[in-house]
Amino acid sequence: MKKRDIGKVDKIILNLIGIFFILLGVIGILNYVRQGEYQIILWFCYLGMILLGTGILKRNSFLIVSQLNILAIPLILWSIDYIYYLINAESLLGLAGYFFVLESALQKVISSQHVFTLPLALYALYRIGVKRKDAWKVSIPLIIGFYFASILFTSEALNINCVYRSCFSFSFPGPHNIMWFVSAFLMIFISNFILVKLFWKKK
């Protein structure tokens, strides 16, 4: 991909996106802390948004890609389920149905990030460009850390980060813990490969 210069307007847009992601992630965490629902803050999307915002503000594509490696595919699947629900009034994948029964307007605003986080992050990555191919080296320790943190500090009923059972309306064959890691690693490497191919910036 040919070199892209970041103009003044682009810098302003990138800064606004970065600040927006950080604020939304922090608000999401504080909202659940205020309600005493501490386990829910371990959903990776909240930390992921803060790290995405930080990466955008610092123009650090390595950090951005390391988060998109984990978030991109789940965000795509959630958005597909969301759109399907809007059209058919039922969930296809079992992911987004909860959104339509949320009573809190703030929670709906926070949860709606599933739809717009990826397009905004991809725009930022397009403007900044990818300069390293090994962001998966950060993604893998993070995903492993969140798996064990979720097992140790959250209840099975909440199923944070889908560590206890599938978040889909169906299950994959085989032991869930093994399938969880297989799926997570495949997701990371596939996303990393695609993002590098699409947004590689020659020095």
Domain boundaries, the chain: 8-199
pLDDT under 50: residue ranges of the chain? 1-3
SS3 content of the chain, % helix, strand, coil (to 5): 70, 0, 25
pLDDT of residue 202: 67
Instruction: Give pLDDT, residue 2.
Output: 45
- pLDDT value, residue 4: 54
State the Cα–Cα distance between residues 65 and 139, nearest whole angstrom. 9
Please tell me the predicted confidence (pLDDT) of residue 3: 44
Alpha carbon distance 117, 191 (integer Å): 15
What is the pLDDT, as a whole number, of residue 132?
94
Task: Answer for the pair 199, 129: CB distance below 8 angstroms, yes or no.
Answer: yes
Q: What is the per-residue pLDDT for 5?
A: 60
Report the half-sphere exposure of 192 (CA within 13 A, side-chain side).
21
C-alpha dist (Å) from residue 84 to 40, 72, 92, 93: 25, 18, 7, 9
The dihedrals phi and psi of 111, each to the nearest 5 degrees, come to -70, -25
pLDDT value of residue 35: 87
Buried/exposed code over 156-173 (b: 16+ C-beta within 10 A; e: otherwise): eeeebbbbbeebeeeeee
Provide φ and ψ at 130, rounded to 5°: -90, 130
Would you state the pLDDT for residue 1?
A: 43
d(CA 104, CA 87): 22
pLDDT attached to residue 187: 97
Let me know: does 187 contact 67? Beta carbons within 8 Å: no
**The pLDDT value given to residue 102:** 85
Helix (H) or strand (E) holding 143: helix 136-153
Contact by Cβ (8 Å): 28, 110: yes
Contact predicate 187/70, CB 8 Å = yes
